[in-house]
Structure 1
Amino acid sequence: MILVLNAGSSSLKIEVFDEILNSLISGRVTNLGTAGELKLGATTTAITTRDHAHALELMLAALADAGYPITAFAAAAHRIVHGGAVMTQPARLRPPVIATIESVIPLAPLHNPNNLAGVYALQKIAPDLPQYCSFGTAFHATNPKVATRYAIPQTHHDAGIRRYGFHGLSYANMVADFGDALPEHLLAFHLGNGASLCAIHNGKSIATSMGYSPLSGLTMGTRSGDIDGAAVLRMSKSLGEDETDRMLNKNGGLQALAGDNNMKTLLERDDDAARFAVEHFCYWAARHAGSAIIAMGGLDAVAFTGGIGENAAPIRDRIMALLSCFGDVPVHVIAADEEKQIARDALALMAEGR
């Protein structure tokens, strides 16, 4: 069995898979560092945690009580948001790999440290358990240089200012789910509170809407999506750097347009602000899609995943109506499952003896 961990800033999610990628049990600890809940399977318990290590201890104890002791796992596998320009494949978490992940923390200061906290905690609890990781940026490493390079001086590019792309594990899982039926030119949408798209040509990412950070590209739940850099500079002068960052990442997007980042609620509302926010979301998804279709040289099918992509048929229908100029193509809805992809990656590495 493989134990998959996804350690966030205030939560710890786990899922257990067998050797053929059947999900056996899943759970999470919420509100790390304060009063929260531990949910495992159908059982929910009120708990108070100190940190990631304490949350993991409690989760492992609950797993053991449920019949999944730590000794039953062949390996653990982690989600790491950012691998930088170097980590472009899943890897076993040995010291050099961990050091590389630590070195790119400046590229994902809100994510990589939390991801690593789960790694460190498990090292202490089960030092002999092999640990693996998969990177959210790795799927887009196949983007050509013309797609990743910003038109800025070389020194800044060398310092890591380039397009990386995110949601890569979701797109990789989508490709795996298609199997031999994968279309040659696939336009993939991952639509949730965070939203992106990816041009997938013969199973490889050719272009994606997110860039240096997850802020760019489509209109999102609380992120603005693309915005002119000069506008950001102007806002930063009046608001300050921290407040501008908060506005663009936490108070932008659907939240800014309609006062709510819940697409289900917006679709149920009957007011101009909600209708405009929904149209803005769909318009910019389709507009970025046109660019992606050009990048991969055609369109054979469209696939949707993520909370909105899977559950909001009116959004899918509106985006496809806007894309009708590219012809009538099959539309697929695929369940997002990053944890399954992480387990798949770990099993592949283990099969190779790594």
Structure 2
Amino acid sequence: MSHDADQPVLALNVGSSSLKFGVFMVGTSGSRVLISGAEETVGEPQEALARIAHRIQAQGLPAPVAVGHRIVHGGPQYRRHTLIDAAVMQQLQAATAFAPLHVPPALALVSAAQARFPGIAQVACLDTAFHAGMPDVARALPIPRELRALGIERYGFHGLSCESILRQLGHDVPPRIVVAHLGHGASVTAVAHGASVDTSMGLTPSGGVIMSTRCGDIDPGVLAYMVREHRYDAAQLEALIDQRSGMLGISGLSGDLRELNAASASSSASAGDARLAITMFCTSVRKQIAAMAAVLGGVDLLVFTGGIGENDVAARTLICEGLEALGIHKEAVRVMPAQEDKQIALRTWQITQTPH
């Protein structure tokens, strides 16, 4: 790729039901978006990519010179954003065991993008990369050494979101930041002098705070009990942990905070359960923020981001209740967008500028 003019880069961010995309003109001066949107991923990823390619062409935009992919988990082999080749794809396939919900659709999209845009660079932008330098006290899990040697440790996620927050802060980065990324998945990260030093998610994106449908941290004895007394297998445990718990499990109604807010304000029989789900979620996040404040020795800035973090004022207010005791006052709280797609484009451009 040329080092002179800005280059068009396609950022792809696949979720459970939709594919977010953006074409950015990226160069040494930064980036600007040319087009962005979302496509349903029901069906083959090739079909969604074909629609994206058509939208790019229909607007007369330049064809991308590189494609960046959000990869949730790179496993123990890949801790940095990296150019994708056959060997990298093989290792990322192996990392599927760590995030079976997230990695397979992302890799299917990589293969589809290689076919749709042949001959151009494809880059894996890892959500775990931001946390790669966490100290041992945060990264190690309290399990036997031989299991830790298998790569079973705290990886942390929402790294692209955290990177985008630091980029947006620019030179105005205080030494002690807590980033609360709250969406369908939710995590809280402690950032000291621009580096991740602890985070709530662990080996997988299932740990940490209560989420929409994920339980977050739970007494491991509950899982042993379900296996022993109710004969749960691995698939049933995963469904329990990732799809049937969290705010959905508590309320018996929904994992969507907007629906729970509406139900809690109604006179329906489910109002009490909806209120309990909201309160438990907010309390869970507040506890993690307090824990990260202890790790950092205080908090200079608390950032809310993600769909809930950016848009739900009531949730932010409830989460912040009592944090004044830790020195976290209103002036130390900011709401910022999670610019993950822009971050993917920037990292992709940087990787392709580096000689390999």
Give TM-score, length-normalised by structure 2: 0.89
1:22 to 32, 36, 45: 32
Is the aligned partner of 1:264 residue 2:258? Answer: yes
1:31 deviation in Å? 4.2
2:241 to 248, 261, 271: 248
Q: 1:183 to 1:8 in 2, by over 3 A?
A: same
Larger deviation: 231-240 or 219-228?
A: 231-240
SS in 1 for 2:12: strand
1:97 is matched with: 88
1:8 deviation in Å? 4.1
1:121 is matched with: 112
2:225 to 221, 225, 234: 234
Amino acid at match of 1:314: A
CA distance, structure 1, for counterparts of residue 345 and residue 210 of structure 2 = 30
User: Does the CA-based 8 Å contact 1:283-1:322 persist in structure 2?
Assistant: no
What's the C-alpha RMSD, in Å, of the aligned pairs? Answer: 1.7
Describe the superposition over 1:35-55 as per-residue Cα deviations: whole angstroms up to 9, x where unpaired: xxxxxxxxxxxxxxxx22233
User: Does the CA-based 8 Å contact 1:210-1:216 persist in structure 2?
Assistant: yes
1:38 is matched with: none
SS in 2 for 1:142: coil
Is the aligned partner of 1:5 residue 2:6? Answer: no
Q: 1:327 to 1:169 in 2, by over 3 A?
A: same
Matches within 5 A, 1:1-354: 1-8=8-15, 10-19=17-26, 20-33=30-43, 51-68=44-61, 72-237=63-228, 238=230, 240-241=232-233, 242-258=235-251, 259-268=253-262, 269-270=264-265, 271-329=271-329, 330-354=332-356
SS in 2 for 1:104: helix
CA distance, structure 1, for counterparts of residue 231 and residue 304 of structure 2 = 37
Q: 1:3 to 1:92 in 2, by over 3 A?
A: same
SS in 2 for 1:254: helix
1:39 is matched with: none
CA distance, structure 2, for counterparts of residue 139 and residue 5 of structure 1 = 19
User: Does the CA-based 8 Å contact 2:99-2:205 persist in structure 1?
Assistant: no
Q: 1:194 to 1:8 in 2, by over 3 A?
A: closer
Q: 1:239 to 1:340 in 2, by over 3 A?
A: farther
CA distance, structure 2, for counterparts of residue 54 and residue 123 of structure 1 = 14
1:205 deviation in Å? 0.6
Give TM-score, length-normalised by structure 1: 0.89
Larger deviation: 195-204 or 72-81?
A: 72-81
% same residue: 35
SS in 2 for 1:174: helix
Query: 4+ residue runs of structure 1 moved beyond 4 angstroms?
Result: none
1:252 deviation in Å? 0.7
Describe the superposition over 1:145-168 as per-residue Cα deviations: whole angstroms up to 9, x where unpaired: 111111211221122221111111
Runs (5+) with no aligned partner, structure 1: 34-50
Q: Which has the higher contact order (CA 8 A, sep 6+)?
A: 2
1:45 is matched with: none
CA distance, structure 2, for counterparts of residue 143 and residue 31 of structure 1 = 34
Describe the superposition over 1:133-187 as per-residue Cα deviations: whole angstroms up to 9, x where unpaired: 2101111112111111112112211222211111111111111111111111001
